[in-house]
Amino acid sequence: MSAILFLEQSLNGVQFGLMLFLLAAGLTLVFGIMDMINLAHGSLYMIGAYFMASFVQATGSFWLGLPLALGATALVGAALEISLLRRLYGRDHLTQVLATFAIILIANEAVRIAWGSQPIMLNPPAALTGPVTLPGGLQYASYRLLIIGVGAAVALALYVLVTRTRVGMLVRAGASNREMAVAMGVDIRRLFTVVFALGAALCALAGAMLGPILAVQVGMGENILILAFVVIVIGGIGSIRGAFVGSLLVGIVDTSGRAFLPLAFGAFLPPQFASAAGPAIASVLIYVLMAGVLYFRPQGLFPARG
């Protein structure tokens, strides 16, 4: 195992973790403030990626398509919140799971009707297709570096938004004690809609950025949704800081597990066993992590409710 390989896998892990954070941030706020399980969050990610594909094709430019896709997905998110999800806040979790599960089914079919069943290819901007040489001699795809940059910038912006602005203060108040926030005169309904639209835009950003790396296809939101849930349960529901730490943890553990476990197993075990057990254990690693965190710290690493 060379240093270069290690560095490359670490960067891949950070890149994946930051994209997970974009999803997990919206999800944890919705979960924390509104006490609402939203399975349809992954659908917004899918819709964002499809909008991106269409807008890039229509405008011919990655950089024009991106804000359009973000705006359109935010609108879809706000519309969804106002028309349906708003009615679910007071209901039990089982109802929320079912209603949002139904929204997933509807969203998948709607996308199939609008865009067809075939995966859509999305190209990265022309200037960023090649690799760059990092210090230390590592050749790394420049588009992946862009993803890391965007993810880090958004994480920083979110941190400032939540800790330094008035909206952020209201969000934190809502997450730590909703009833008290309402009693102090916070217009929680409007806040919910704003938070939800913001969460949808973050989903779209993740979908748009990951689009060129993964295929844009129906059902793409479902697998990453489960990962985002793992992240927020590890991090502590309602905590942006927890979502950030959890995302990086899950991203790095998952990526490096897949890269290194088969190698490590190969060093100790007979090859036919290592080639079977390595990938199997690598893919369950993050769930083991989550089960471990829940077992020892049921409230997650950074609980938002004091």
Partner 1 sequence: MIRALVLFAALAIFPLVMQAMDALFYVSFASRVLIYAIAATSLNLVLGYGGMVSFGHAAFFGAGAFVVGILAVEGVRSAWIAWPAAIAVAALAALVIGAMSLRTRGVYFIMITLAFAQMMYYIFVSLKAYGGDDGLSMPGRSTIGFDVNLRNDLVWYYIVLALLAAVLYGLHRLVHSRFGRVIDAIRENEARAEAIGFPVYRYKLLCFVISGAVAGLAGALIANQSSYVSPSLLHWIQSGTLMIMVILGGVGTLWGGVIGAAVLLLLEHLIADYRIGWLAALAPNYQDHAGLAVGIVLLTIVMLAPEGIAGLFKGRRHA
| Dihedral pair phi/psi, residue 130, rounded to 5° | -90, 170
CB of 131 to partner 1, least distance (A): 30
Tokens of 98: 């079912």
> Judged by CB, which is closer to partner 1: 205, or 233?
233
What 3-state DSSP class applies to 215? coil
> Judged by CB, which is closer to partner 1: 2, or 92?
92
Q: Which stretch binds partner 1 (CB under 8 A): 129-137, 168-176, 185-193, 230-238?
A: 230-238
What 3-state DSSP class applies to 119? coil
DSSP class of 120: B
Among 64, 105, 152, 184, binds partner 1 (CB under 8 A): 105
Q: Which stretch binds partner 1 (CB under 8 A): 10-18, 119-127, 167-175, 288-296?
A: 288-296
Q: What span, in angstroms and rounded, lies between the C-alpha atoms of 65 and 56?
A: 5
| 84 near partner 1, rule: CB under 8 A | yes
Q: What span, in angstroms and rounded, lies between the C-alpha atoms of 23 and 201?
A: 10
CB of 284 to partner 1, least distance (A): 4
Q: What are the Cα distances from residue 195, in Å, to 77, 85, 131, 174, 202?
A: 10, 13, 37, 11, 11
Tokens of 83: 């028309």
Beta-bridge partner residues of 140: 132
User: How many residues bind to partner 1 according to rule CB under 8 A?
Assistant: 43
Among 7, 71, 112, 269, binds partner 1 (CB under 8 A): 112
Among 27, 68, 171, 230, binds partner 1 (CB under 8 A): 230
Q: Which stretch binds partner 1 (CB under 8 A): 92-100, 123-131, 163-171, 191-199?
A: 92-100
What 3-state DSSP class applies to 100? helix
Q: What span, in angstroms and rounded, lies between the C-alpha atoms of 138 and 215?
A: 26
* Nearby residues of 135 by Cβ (< 8 Å), 6 or more positions away: none
Among 1, 109, 149, 189, binds partner 1 (CB under 8 A): 109
Among 4, 7, 78, 98, binds partner 1 (CB under 8 A): 98
Q: What span, in angstroms and rounded, lies between the C-alpha atoms of 7 and 136?
A: 9
CB of 191 to partner 1, least distance (A): 18
Q: What span, in angstroms and rounded, lies between the C-alpha atoms of 303 and 293?
A: 12
Strands (E), the chain: 131-133, 139-141
Site string for partner 1, 247-286 (x = CB under 8 A): -----------------------------x--xx--xx--
| 104 near partner 1, rule: CB under 8 A | yes
Site residues for partner 1 per CB under 8 A: 31, 35, 37, 84, 87, 91-95, 97-99, 101-106, 108-110, 112-113, 222, 226, 229-230, 233, 237, 276, 279-280, 283-284, 287-288, 290-291, 294-295, 298, 305
